Structure formats: C-alpha cells, structure tokens
C-alpha cells in the first residue's frame, strides 16, 4: 500500500514539472493572433469595404515588439520608453509606411476583454482610418500586440512585399513616436444662416471629422449626398443644418381679482298660530282613559236601582196612597 502511494506521488510531481515549463511559453489567455485580426476586421467592416491584409513584415515586427515588452515588463508603448517609433521599428522588418500600434496586457485575456481595451478612438484607428491596409500581430506571455500599416504607395495590395531590408529593430536610439498622430480637426462655427460647414484638411478622415463635431458620419454622408466614405482635401462638407424653430405655447397666468360677496340682511319673521294637535285614539284602545271597571259597574247598578225605585214610586206607589 505504501509503495502505491509513493508511486502515485512521484507521478504527480513529474507531471507537474512537465506542465509548468510548457505553460511558461504559452500566452496566459485564450486570445490568438487570428482572434485579434478578426476582431479588428469586424470593426472595420462597419466603416470600409476592404479588410486589413495580414503580411509577414508586420507579423515579425509585432512579435518582436511583444517579446521585448515582455522581457522588460513594459507598461507603455516602447516608443514612450525611449525606443524607436513603431513605423521605424517595422521598417527594419521590410515595411515602409506609417504604422499604428495597439498593445494590451493581461494574465487571463479573452477576446471580449481585449475588445473593451481597444474600443476607444485611438485604438480603433486600424478600423476607422481608411489609410491603413495591412495588419500584423504578436503575442508573448501576457502581452498582445497589433500593428496596422498604410502602404507607402497609398494603395492596398494583397501582394505587398515592402522594402528589401530585414533584421531586428534598433532599440537603442530614442525617437519621437508619431505612429498614432492624427491631425486635429479645427471645428467651424455656424455661418449667418446657422449652418456648419467644414473644409477637409490633409490627413483628415470622415470618421475623425464626425468625432470632433460630435455627429455620426452617416449624418454627414446624408447631408452631402455621399455614396462612399472617401473625402478629399478641400472638400466643403455640410456638418449640420440650422434647427427648425419649434413654437412652444406658453400659458400666461391670469391674476384673479377677488369680488366682494353682498351680505343679506335678515328679515324678521311674522309669528304664526301654533297648531295644537288633538290626539286621536288608537283602534286598540291604548290611548283611552283607564277606568276601574268593578267600581264603575257597581255605580251603574246603584244608579239603575235608584232609577227603578223612582219610577215605581211615582207610577205605582204614590197613586195607591192617594186612593185610600
């Protein structure tokens, strides 16, 4: 029994030792490079008809960036830590064009969490800015890198190769990072008619103009009868029209003046005769005067006897005494 226990314990220790080194070379989260590209292209589909094209030059640059950030435990873009800009670093891998870079770090990264990190204006540039055509991704440890590039010829081509240079990025010469620079949009004020117009400047896109004015880019397209998202330097775009005034009826409070109520003088009343109600006897005799019946009967009997005596005396007895 003890031998079985020791064999089991040794097996568990051996399996643990094999698993731990393997985990160290894998990304801690569940996000893959394909997931990052799919996420950005799904957002881009809402703005442009062309998807970002994955190319080897940007994949190599993004992977080198991820590994360097993981090595130094970076908490910001490398360009903000004294490294060359993303465009300069990717040029050493054969991509000659402007590059914008997204990065994220998390021990248990999933695609929904990553999408929440990259859903703001600056991280959405690979999807919203038409100039970007190419994409590359890299993962190292907990670091996730996405780089989008604009072709030097201004055209998007699936067969893009880039320059012939290759090698590793120079991380020694500090330089200013201009990879995420977007010319600011100076908003216009309403004209005499109350309408707002904007003249397109170099580097501005329909999305950035709409963002600065706080309107939807679909609204701008409808106001200008646009069928695509393409705009050109010098275009005069109608941003918003003067709102139609709405007449609102207001109630004016009417002050009520109190009126004096006349007071009536009481008129003296003339006394009227008071009607005396004669009680009506009830059929059941309840209202009659109560009489002592035996006494009343005896009295009647006495009166009847007296009357009978008077009649007999005057009619019979008195005449008899006179005849004698």
pLDDT of residue 166: 40
Residue 254 maps to a domain: no
Residue 75 maps to a domain: yes
pLDDT digits (tens, 9 = 90+) for 294-306: 888 888 888 888 8
Residue 276 maps to a domain: no
Q: Which helix (H) or strand (E) holds 103?
A: strand 99-105
Residues whose CB is less than 8 angstroms from the CB of residue 145 and which lie 6 or more positions away in sequence, other chains included: 62, 63, 65, 66, 69, 101, 102, 103, 137, 138, 139
Q: How far apart are CA 110 and CA 117, in angstroms?
A: 11
Answer whether residue 240 shows pLDDT above 60: yes
Answer whether residue 101 shows pLDDT above 70: yes
Residue 58 maps to a domain: yes
Answer whether residue 245 shows pLDDT above 70: no
Specify whether 96 is located in the same domain as 209: no
- Burial (CB count <10 Å: 0-12, 13-18, 19+), residue 106: middle
Q: How far apart are CA 114 and CA 28, in angstroms?
A: 13
pLDDT digits (tens, 9 = 90+) for 159-188: 554 543 344 444 443 444 444 445 567 778
> Which CATH number fits the domain that encloses residue 137?
3.40.33.10
- Total domains in the chain come to 2
Specify whether 68 is located in the same domain as 141: yes
Residue 184 maps to a domain: no
Answer whether residue 241 shows pLDDT above 70: yes
Provide mean pLDDT across the span 214-230. 86
Tell which of 114, 149, 184 closes a domain. 149
Provide mean pLDDT across the span 102-121. 92
Highest mean pLDDT among 81-90, 168-177, 194-203: 81-90
Query: 111: left (phi > 0), else alpha (psi -120 to 50), else beta?
Result: alpha
Structure token pair of residue 202:
């170099």
Closest CA to 217 of 225, 227, 207: 207
Which domain does 34 fall in, by range? 16-149
pLDDT of residue 280: 59
Structure token pair of residue 148:
């989008």
Residue 256 maps to a domain: no
Residue 116 maps to a domain: yes
Residue 103 maps to a domain: yes
Task: Tell me the torsion sign for CA atoms 211, 216, 217, 221.
Answer: negative
């Amino acid at each position: 029994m003890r031998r079985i226990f020791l064999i089991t314990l040794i097996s568990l220790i051996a399996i643990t030792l094999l698993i731990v080194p393997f985990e160290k070379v894998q990304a801690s989260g569940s996000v893959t490079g394909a997931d990052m590209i799919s996420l950005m292209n799904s957002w881009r589909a809402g703005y442009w008809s062309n998807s970002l094209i994955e190319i080897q030059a940007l994949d190599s640059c993004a992977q080198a960036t991820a590994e360097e950030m993981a090595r130094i435990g970076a908490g910001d873009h490398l360009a903000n830590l004294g490294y060359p800009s993303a465009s300069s670093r990717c040029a050493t891998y054969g991509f000659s064009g402007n590059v914008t870079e997204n990065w994220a770090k998390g021990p248990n990264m999933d695609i929904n969490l990553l999408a929440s990190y990259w859903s703001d204006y600056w991280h959405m540039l690979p999807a919203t800015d038409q100039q970007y055509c190419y994409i590359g991704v890299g993962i190292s440890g907990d670091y996730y890198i996405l780089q989008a590039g604009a072709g030097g010829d201004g055209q998007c081509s699936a067969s893009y190769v880039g320059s012939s240079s290759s090698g590793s990025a120079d991380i020694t010469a500090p330089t200013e990072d201009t990879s995420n620079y977007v010319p600011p949009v100076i908003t216009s004020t309403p004209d005499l008619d109350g309408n707002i117009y904007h003249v397109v400047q170099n580097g501005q896109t329909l999305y950035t103009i709409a963002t600065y004015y706080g309107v939807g880019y679909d609204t701008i397209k409808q106001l200008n009868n646009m069928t695509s998202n393409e705009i050109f330097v010098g275009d005069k775009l109608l941003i918003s029209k003067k709102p139609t005034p709405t007449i609102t009826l207001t109630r004016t409070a009417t002050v009520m003046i109190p009126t004096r109520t006349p007071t009536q003088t009481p008129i003296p009343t003339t006394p009227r005769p008071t009607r005396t109600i004669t009680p009506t006897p009830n059929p059941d005799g309840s209202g009659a005067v109560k009489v002592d019946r035996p006494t009343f009967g005896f009295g009647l009997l006495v009166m009847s006897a007296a009357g009978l005596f008077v009649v007999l005396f005057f009619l019979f007895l008195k005449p008899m005494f006179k005849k004698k």
